[in-house]
Amino acid sequence: MGNIAQSTQLQILPRGQFTPLENITLQGLAASAVNIILIIASLLFVFNLLFGGIKVILSGGDKEKLDIAKRQLVNSFLGIAIVFSSWAILGFVSQFFGIDLLTFDIPTL
């Protein structure tokens, strides 16, 4: 009677549909990595833009602090422009040459 917890097996099954791990491919991982990088870059852009705006407001008319805040804003816009332009260039090159550079497909023998 004292070992009820050790002898009882629980069948806890998750709700919803789950894909098994053996279906993961390099192509799917590469596409997911590109999407994650774009999401992280977008979030960093938003936070950097917010902090730069706060620095502009808190500069209080100090020329040096205002210049630092303006540089932060310009750098955040340059960063997001570089990330999305590189993504667009990859898409254009892959369409032009007929190969998909954003996903990797390893041929089978």
Q: Where are the domains of the chain?
A: 49-99
| Closest residue by Cα to residue 56 from 75, 44, 70, 45 | 70
**More confident: 58 or 9:** 58
* Percent of the chain topping pLDDT 70: 62
Q: What pLDDT does residue 70 have?
A: 94
CB 90, CB 97: distance < 8 Å: no
Distance separating alpha carbons of residues 107 and 39, to the nearest angstrom: 30
Helices (H), the chain: 4-7, 26-58, 63-97
Q: What pLDDT does residue 89 have?
A: 87
Residue 55 makes CB contacts below 8 A (sequence gap 6+) with 65, 68, 69, 72
Residue pLDDT, tens place only, 62-94: 999 999 999 999 999 999 999 989 888 878 877
| Closest residue by Cα to residue 87 from 68, 103, 102 | 102
| Angle between helix 26-58 and helix 63-97 axes, rounded to 10 deg | 160
pLDDT higher than threshold 60 for residue 105: no
Mean pLDDT of the chain: 79
Contacts of 95-102 with CB under 8 Å at 24 or more apart are 102/30, 102/31, 102/34
Q: What pLDDT does residue 22 have?
A: 63
